[in-house]
Amino acid sequence: MARETTPDQEIWVFTSEGAALTQYSREYLEKLAYKNWRLPENERVIQTRKRAGRYELWLPDLLRYKDEIGNGPLNIPKK
């Protein structure tokens, strides 16, 4: 299901904020942001920008990515 946004919903979040909203780890989002940052702008899965040495992700793209990819395997400790 595609999410539609209006310009006032265009929210940029740092990787730590994105992690809190999506339940991905901050480290995972930093790697994802780094990989996206290195791609040409028209090939990025998630719009990414770098400000003050930190990556920011466009929230609507991040939420769409979470909907499409999901959480993946859980790291549940074995008993």
Please report whether residue 42 resides in a domain.
yes
The tally of CA atoms less than 13 A away on the side-chain side of residue 34 is 7
Q: Which parts of the chain are beta strand (E)?
A: 12-14, 48-51, 54-58
What is the pLDDT, as a whole number, of residue 8?
56
What is the pLDDT, as a whole number, of residue 9?
59
Please report whether residue 26 resides in a domain.
yes
Residue 47 — very low, low, confident or very high, per pLDDT cuts 50/70/90? very high
Lowest mean pLDDT, pick from 9-13, 41-45, 53-57: 9-13
Cross-strand bridge partners of residue 54: 51
Please report whether residue 39 resides in a domain.
yes
- CA-CA distance, 27 to 19, in Å (whole number)? 9
Residue 46 — very low, low, confident or very high, per pLDDT cuts 50/70/90? very high
pTM of the model: 0.74
Range of the domain at 42: 11-69
